[in-house]
Structures are given as C-alpha cells and as structure tokens.
Amino acid sequence: MKTHKKILFVIASILIVNIVSNLFDYKIDMTEDKRFTLSDASIQVVKKVEKPMQIIVFLKGDFPSYFKRLANETESLLKDFRQQNKQIDFVFINPLNKGNEYINKLIDKGLQPAQINLQKNGKMEQVMIFPWAIIKQNNKEIPVSLLTDSYSQNMEEQIEKSIENLEYALANGIKLMNARKNQKIAVIKGNGELDDMHIADFLINAGKKYRLAPYTLDSVATNPIKTLKDLQAYDLAIVAKPTEKFTEKEKFVLDQFLMNGGRLLLLIDAVKAHKDTLMYRGKTYALNAELNLTDMLFAYGVRISPKLVKDIIAAPVVLKVGQVGKRPQLEQFPWFYSPLAQPVKNHPIGKNLEMVMLDFVSPIDTLKNPTHKTILLNSSPKTRLVGVPTEINFDEIGKKPDLNLYTAGKQIFGVLLEGKIKSAYNHRIKPIPVNKALDEGQSALIVISDGDIVKNQTDKGQPLELGYDKWSKMKYDNKQFLLNAIDYLMDKTGVISLKNKEVKLRFLDQNKLMSELRFWQLINTLFPLILIALSGMAYSMYRKRKYT
C-alpha cells in the first residue's frame, strides 16, 4: 500500500509541476553568447510602447528549413517583446494565400520578395518568400526587413547574419514607431555638393526613417545669426562632396552646430579628380580641392592628406576593347584608384558589411586629442600614395603592378569622432558676432575622405541603387554603410549597439562525420537497447533481493 502511495505522490507531483510551469512564460538562456536574452536597450524601447502595436510577419508557408529557422527565431523574439509589454502583439501570415492584389500592394510598399529554389516531389520549383515584417500602430506603418543584404555569402550564412541582426531590426522599428517626433536631417547645399539625382537612392532610403530637408548656407552672408539658429533645429547635417571653398562664416555655423550637440556626416574630397572626364577622354588631372576645411578638421582631431591612394584591392573599370558588328566588346580591368574599402566589423556601423567602393580617395591621419576616435573604413595593406597635382590616365590599364611600389601600408578612409569636441574657433576671433559661442561640446561626427561614397549611378535619367555599378554589374555595401552611419549618429537609446550581437556558428566537421558515420550509427541504434536491457536486469535483481 505504501508503494502505491509513493507512485501516486510522484505522478501527482509531476502533474502539478507541469500545470504550474504552463501558467508562466519563462525560459532559461544557457547559451554562451546569450542569444536568447533581450538587451537592456531593447527592453527600454519595448517598455515605452504606450498604445496597442501590431507586428505582422510574412514568414509563414512552405519554404526551406533555414527560412523556417528565421521564422522561429523571429517568433521567439516577439514573444519576449510581448512578455515585456502586453501592448505589443504579433501575427504570422502567408501573403501567398492573400492573392496577387495583396502581394502587389506589399511590393508597392517596398517589400521586395526573395526568390528561392525549392525541391518538391522531385522537381525544382521557385518559391516567393517575403522576409519582412510590418509594424502597425494607429494609421502608421513601418516596414522592417528581416533578411540582411549580403552579396558574398550563401543563403545559410545570410540567415545566420539575419538572426544576429534580428533584435536590432525589430527594436529599431519599434523605436521609430514610438518616437514622439521624427528626427530631422539637413542636407547641406551651396558649396557645389552633389545634386539630388546623384544622391537620390541614399535620400530615399534615409527618408523612410527621418525627415530630410535641403539647407543652404548661402544665407550666412546676409543673416548669419538666423542661419545658425535655424540649423540648430536639425539633429544631423550631411555635407556630400562639396567642390567649392567654405567661407569662415559657413565653417563657424557648422562648428557651432556641432558644439551645440548637432551631428555631422562629412563626405569630402581633399583631391579634385573627375572620373567622367577620365572615361570620356582617357585622362584627367588630380588637383588639391582647397575646400578650406583643413584647420577645422585638424581642431577636431583628423587630417585628410591631399594625396590619392592606389590600392591593389580595387573595383574594376569596364572599357571598350573592340567591336563585333554593332556590338562593342567590353572588358573589365582592375582600377587601383577605386579602392574597395573594408568596414571595421567590430563596430555597429560596419557589422556584417562587405566591401565599400570608393573613387579617388585620400588617406586620413588621426591626431592626439581628448576626442574618442574609431576607425570605420580601411584599405588593404598593399597601397601606394600619389601626390598632387598629377595626371591620371588609362595607360597603366592591363599592366601588371609593381608590388614593390605598394608599400604604404593600411590607410584610413573613414573615422568616427565622438565625445568632448573642441571648437575650431577656440581662442580665435569669431567670424560671426554671436552672444555666446561654445568652445567645446559633447557631440559626434563622421569623416569620410571620399564624396563619391554616396553617389549613385544613373540610367536613362533615373537613379540606380547606391552601391550598384551598372558597368561591372557588381554590388557594394555603400548604401548600408551610410545608413548605418546616420543611424549611429542619430541614435540616443543605444539600440544601434544591438548590431554587435554575435551568434556563433557551430558547423559539423563533415570529414570527421563521414569517417565516423558507422560508429555513431551503431551507438545511436544499440546504446538505447542496451540501456533498456540493463535497466530491466537491474530492476529484476532488485525485486529478487527485496522479495525473496
């Protein structure tokens, strides 16, 4: 009788534990990289949601296992969000079941599908998948891409990178939805910057998150106080490849904007060289750009040398080498004046990014001062510095480079400066009579020594995607790098740091697996049977000893 009571007690205990555990939504993260634990930044963002918010995820349907894994990771993350704040709800739907009209509406909103080959019933079929989510609150919608762009990885690795980026993508979308007001970006005009057609793709993508407006510095000549005051209403100012000299008043306005907490993204050429002229005439001249920004950048802690960097790791140039009938014969040649810069991977701006294409870029030197500096873009170690003025032509095309000349080492192309920044007009006469000029301030700026990093090509009068080279058909990560840069400069919540979340890949050793395949098959087949037999024998011996 006592034995029966013990058995009933054990069964009742197991049932009670199961019932109680099902009443609570909990999990224990025992992974080394804490991949299933929400960061403090995410928790703060999610808890600030005050009105009902719905997240529609389109990862539902019959698709490959790696996409199912992305769907499962997304669902797990959203459950964590909902656990932190019940105002957040989510639903998974299959857009293919909604009909063509619904699919076309998604595409019109910018939700481009991925085409995946899937084997069904012994046949290869192409499946359309929408790796997207839409965050909805009231009448506002924000699309969120769940699949990171990658041009050099296979799909499984791309999914891994997407899972790493998942928490940032969704938390950042919630942050933008929950923002009291849209942050504002001033696109500086008036000093020969790139026209809107050649920065259209960047502006369109940045405009999905922030309010953009052109802002000319010309008015500083007639009403400098108002110009400075108006600019301080913006959160970030972008200077995209100026070609005309800055006056002291214009520099002072930018300087004081920075000292008052505004952020700057400077994409500037220290050397003036025209690639369009080079392509048309076969040669061009490289000259000092003389933008009058050297002293200002020097005060902040960087110096752009008026030289050009030739890099062995470079983008190709496509040239006509002949003609067959009416069709020209085109061939690609390495063009060492177009370095492929490598983003620094241990920083949120460069995380998971591949090469960034530059044109006629100059080296950056960092100077010792209290401002914290982070390198964002580097060259390869095989570089050569070319002084200006100099003539650049296509005579070297097709010639094998002399590696003995490429000994300048790794060069810096992009720097982030943040923290306490001293004014370039500290202990100097101010060009504008302001009541109170700041000599230092807490802020951040990014300096890239190439204005063409933001320039998109055009085709038939329409802008192409930033980072796409229509001649070589190659894609580079210019767009994502710059979007990450403005996200970093605009972020005051720490959400951008989620990009540094790393999921360690643990692949099986295929060679070892094949060599030990039979051994492990036997272990998995026989070991459970042997264990059951031994348990039965032990229990039988126990009963004999107890009841004999």
Nearest to 82 by CA among 59, 111, 57: 57
Please write the tens of the pLDDT for every residue from 351-407. Answer: 888 899 999 999 999 999 889 999 999 999 999 999 999 999 888 887 888 899 999
pLDDT of res. 331: 83
Please give the backbone phi and psi of residue 186, each rounded to the nearest 5 degrees, phi first: -100, 125
pLDDT at residue 502, rounded to an integer: 63
At 504, the pLDDT band (50, 70, 90 cuts) reads low
- The residues near 55 (Cβ < 8 Å, ≥ 6 apart) are 78, 88, 89, 90, 91, 133, 134, 135, 136, 170
Residue 1 has pLDDT above 60, yes or no: no
Tokens standing for residue 309: 């960097």
Q: Which of 8-12, 108-112, 202-206, 519-523 has the highest mean pLDDT?
A: 202-206
Residue among 491, 418, 501, 476 at smallest CA distance from 77: 501
Percent above pLDDT 90 for the chain: 42
The residue among 469, 470, 373, 440 whose CA lies nearest residue 412 is 373
For residue 239, is pLDDT > 90? Answer: yes
Bigger pLDDT: 124 or 29?
Answer: 124
Cβ-contact 332, 317 below 8 angstroms = yes
Per-residue pLDDT, averaged over 138-148, amounts to 86
Q: Is pLDDT larger for residue 496 or for residue 96?
A: 96
DSSP per residue, 60-76: -SS--HHHHHHHHHHHH
Predicted confidence at residue 251, as pLDDT, reads: 94
Residue type at 64 in one-letter notation = P
Q: What confidence score (pLDDT) does residue 3 get?
A: 59
Q: Three-class SS of residue 137?
A: strand
Give one DSSP letter per residue of 277-323, joined into a string. HHHHHSEEEEEE---S-HHHHHHHTEEE-SEEEEESSEEEEEEEEEE
Split at pLDDT 50, 70, 90, the class of 506 is: low
Residues 306, 294: Cα–Cα separation, whole Å: 10
Whether 262 contacts 237, CB under 8 Å: yes
Which of the four CATH numbers 3.40.50.2300, 3.30.70.1230, 3.40.30.10, 3.30.360.10 does domain 26-178 have? 3.40.30.10
Closest CA to 372 of 467, 317, 443, 478: 443
The DSSP line for 373-427 is: EEEEEE--S-EEEEESSEEEEGGGTTSPP-GGG--S---EEEEEEEEEEE-TTTT
Q: Which residue has the tokens 């070589």?
A: 472
Give the per-residue pLDDT at 62. 78
- Cα dihedral 348, 354, 360, 361 sign: positive
The whole-number pLDDT of residue 386 equals: 94
- Please indicate, yes or no, whether the overall pTM of this predicted structure exceeds 0.95: no
Query: What per-residue confidence (pLDDT) applies to 194?
Result: 93
Domain 184-494 fold: Rossmann fold (3.40.50)
Lowest-pLDDT range of 9-18, 80-89, 128-137: 9-18
CB atoms within 10 A of CB 547: 6
- Give the pLDDT band (50/70/90) at residue 22: low
Count of beta carbons in the 10 Å neighbourhood of residue 329: 10
pLDDT in tens, 397-429: 878 888 999 999 999 999 999 999 999 998 888
- For 288-339, the pLDDT digits (tens) are 999 999 999 999 999 999 999 999 999 998 887 677 767 777 788 889 999 9
Higher pLDDT, 31 or 478: 478
Find the helix or strand (DSSP H, E) in which 225 lies. Answer: helix 224-231
Give percent of the chain with pLDDT exceeding 70: 89
Give 181-217 pLDDT, tens digit per residue: 678 999 999 999 999 999 999 999 998 888 999 999 8
Q: Check residues 35 and 338 and name the one with the higher pLDDT.
A: 338
User: Boundaries of CATH 3.40.50 in the chain?
Assistant: 184-494
pLDDT value at residue 192: 92
Residue predicted with more confidence, 181 or 246: 246
The residue among 325 and 476 whose pLDDT is bigger is 476
Q: 278 or 272: which carries more pLDDT confidence? A: 272
Summarised one tens digit per residue, pLDDT across range 274-300 is 888 888 888 899 999 999 999 999 999
> Cβ distance 200 to 463 under 8 Å?
yes
Q: How confident is the model at residue 8 (pLDDT cuts 50, 70, 90)?
A: low
| Confidence (pLDDT) at 521 | 81
Q: Which of 12-21, 211-220, 492-501 has the highest mean pLDDT?
A: 211-220
Would you state the pLDDT for residue 118? 66
- Per-residue pLDDT of 49-81, as tens digits, reads 888 999 999 988 877 777 888 889 899 899 999
Q: Lowest-confidence range among 43-57, 354-368, 436-450, 490-504?
A: 490-504
Q: pLDDT category, 40, cuts 50, 70, 90?
A: confident
Instruction: Supply the pLDDT for residue 189.
Output: 93
Q: What is the DSSP string of 72-103?
A: HHHHHHHHHHHHH-TTEEEEE--GGGG-HHHH
Among 123-137, 312-326, 454-468, 501-515, top mean pLDDT goes to 454-468
DSSP 482-518: HHHHHHHHH--SSGGGGGG---------HHHHHHTHH
Q: Where in the chain is the domain with CATH 3.40.30.10?
A: 26-178
- Specify the pLDDT at position 225: 86
Beta bridge partners of 114: 129
